[in-house]
């Protein structure tokens, strides 16, 4: 009798067309009121010998049916997934439909443009962690302990964890250190990324973006630094004769150091970039300090080079006429629709940076 029942139940399992039907078969066989369960309940009325024999046979039957149900379930699931994959196939190479609302954030767009320009000059992109230690963010960059420049950074320190003082990086410069520690010169990298300072007003947000540049080899000098930044600014702002002014300045990690202004006009309250006699500061730069090279294991009697750093929001605001820094991070879809960029308009120098 179990054989006939077994064959019948196995047939039902095989014939179940979907998961719901299979579940019905399971309940009818193994559920509380199922047929196999019913037979189990009858065991009580048998003699001990009969009970042992029949009990063993019923247990076997139960296991076999349960295994068959599991196998069928797996088959049905695979078939279901396969059918879905076939039915829901999408062609990722199709162009974006115009009615799609998504926009590229001006920060992403600006970073893409910066990368496109420096890639043409032979730079590669490097990155590093947002959570840094004191060594990479300050000490290796020639900020001595207690140096006032550390206070100027309004650092977010993390709760003490062990012997290392951890913080949110206040600039992208620590990635200079990481790059020099992990790569041999010649080095030619840019480092776009998030930075953090405890500050909030019209022109400061606690999180903002910078792009860092670093060139290290045996011959690079201040003339190369100037040429590189002049070419970059003219390409980025798309003003062929944009004048640049290099003003002496101070950063612990460069010597000499300079701040760079670009030419502009503020006539009538409107800011225009070009050769108009007025100036606007946009970045810091200099020749990498020998102390920094040595802290990173680079022989300062053989190697030299330049570094620069600039705020990405600032140059994005200038280029795209965005008046308030804080709006970048308010996640307002109307703002994004107005200032954002159409996807797949990937910037390159050949196609024009923005269209």
Residue entry with tokens 């629709």:
337
Contacts of 186 (CB under 8 A, 6+ apart): 215, 216, 217
3-class state of residue 180 by DSSP: helix
171 near ligand DAH, judged by CB under 6 A:
yes
DSSP H or E segment with residue 285: strand 278-288
DSSP code of residue 325: G
The residue among 72 and 171 lying less far from ligand DAH, judged by its C-beta, is 171
CB of 84 to ligand DAH, least distance (A): 50
Stretch 308-337: interaction string toward ligand DAH, x if CB under 6 A = xx----------------------------
Query: Which of 15-23, 111-119, 236-244, 278-286 is the region at the interface with ligand DAH (rule: CB under 6 A)?
Result: 278-286
The residue among 10 and 225 lying less far from ligand DAH, judged by its C-beta, is 225
Query: Which of 1-9, 56-64, 228-236, 304-312 is the region at the interface with ligand DAH (rule: CB under 6 A)?
Result: 304-312
Residue 64 CB coordination number (10 Å): 15
- Total of chain residues touching ligand DAH, rule CB under 6 A: 11
142 near ligand DAH, judged by CB under 6 A:
no
Contacts of 6 (CB under 8 A, 6+ apart): 61, 64, 65
CB of 333 to ligand DAH, least distance (A): 31
Exposure b/e, 28-54, CB count within 10 A at least 16 = b: ebbeeebebbebbeeeeeeeeeeeeeb
Residues 185-244 that bind ligand DAH (CB under 6 A): 212
Residue 92 CB coordination number (10 Å): 4
Greatest alpha-carbon span in the chain = 111
Site for ligand DAH (CB under 6 A): which residue of 128, 192, 193, 284?
Answer: 284
CB of 171 to ligand DAH, least distance (A): 3
The residue among 34 and 213 lying less far from ligand DAH, judged by its C-beta, is 213
CB of 87 to ligand DAH, least distance (A): 52
Site for ligand DAH (CB under 6 A): which residue of 39, 189, 285, 315?
Answer: 285
Rg (CA), the chain: 34
DSSP code of residue 158: P
Contact 113, 352 (CB under 8 A): no
The residue among 34 and 309 lying less far from ligand DAH, judged by its C-beta, is 309
The residue among 136 and 171 lying less far from ligand DAH, judged by its C-beta, is 171
Contact 212, 309 (CB under 8 A): yes
Contacts of 187 (CB under 8 A, 6+ apart): 179, 180, 214, 215, 216, 217, 305
251 near ligand DAH, judged by CB under 6 A:
yes
**Interface residues with ligand DAH (CB under 6 A)?**
171, 173, 212, 251, 254, 284-286, 307-309
């Amino acid at each position: 009798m179990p054989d006939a029942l077994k064959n019948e139940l196995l047939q039902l399992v095989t014939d179940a067309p979907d998961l719901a039907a299979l579940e019905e078969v399971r309940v009818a066989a193994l559920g509380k009121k199922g047929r196999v369960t019913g037979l189990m309940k009858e065991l009580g009325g048998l003699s001990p010998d009969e009970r042992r024999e029949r009990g063993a046979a019923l247990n076997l039957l139960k296991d076999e049916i349960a295994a068959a149900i599991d196998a069928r379930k797996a088959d049905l699931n695979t078939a279901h997934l396969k059918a879905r994959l076939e039915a829901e196939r999408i062609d990722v190479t199709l162009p974006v439909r115009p009615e799609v609302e998504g926009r590229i954030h001006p920060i992403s767009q600006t970073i893409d443009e910066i990368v496109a320009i420096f890639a043409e000059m032979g730079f590669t992109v490097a990155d590093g962690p947002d959570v840094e230690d004191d060594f990479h963010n300050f000490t290796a960059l020639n900020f001595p302990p207690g140096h006032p420049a550390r206070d100027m950074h309004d650092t977010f320190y993390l709760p003490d964890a062990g012997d290392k003082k951890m913080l949110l990086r206040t600039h992208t410069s620590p990635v200079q250190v990481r790059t020099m520690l992990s790569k041999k010169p010649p080095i030619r990298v840019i480092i776009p990324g998030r930075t953090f300072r405890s500050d909030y007003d019209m022109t400061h947000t606690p999180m903002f973006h910078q792009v860092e540049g670093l060139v290290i080899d045996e011959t690079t000098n201040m003339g190369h630094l100037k040429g590189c930044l002049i070419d970059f600014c003219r390409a980025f702002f798309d003003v062929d004769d944009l004048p640049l002014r290099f003003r002496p300045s101070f950063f612990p990690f460069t010597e000499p150091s300079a701040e760079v202004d670009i030419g502009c006009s503020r006539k009538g309250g409107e800011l225009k970039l070009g050769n108009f006699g007025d100036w606007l500061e946009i970045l810091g730069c200099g020749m990498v300090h020998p102390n920094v090279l040595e802290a990173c294991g680079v022989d300062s009697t053989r190697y030299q080079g330049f570094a620069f750093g600039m705020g990405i929001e600032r140059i994005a605001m200038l280029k795209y006429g965005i008046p308030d820094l804080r709006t970048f991070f308010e996640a307002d879809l109307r703002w994004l629709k107005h200032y954002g960029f159409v996807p797949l308009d990937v910037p390159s120098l050949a196609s024009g940076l923005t269209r």
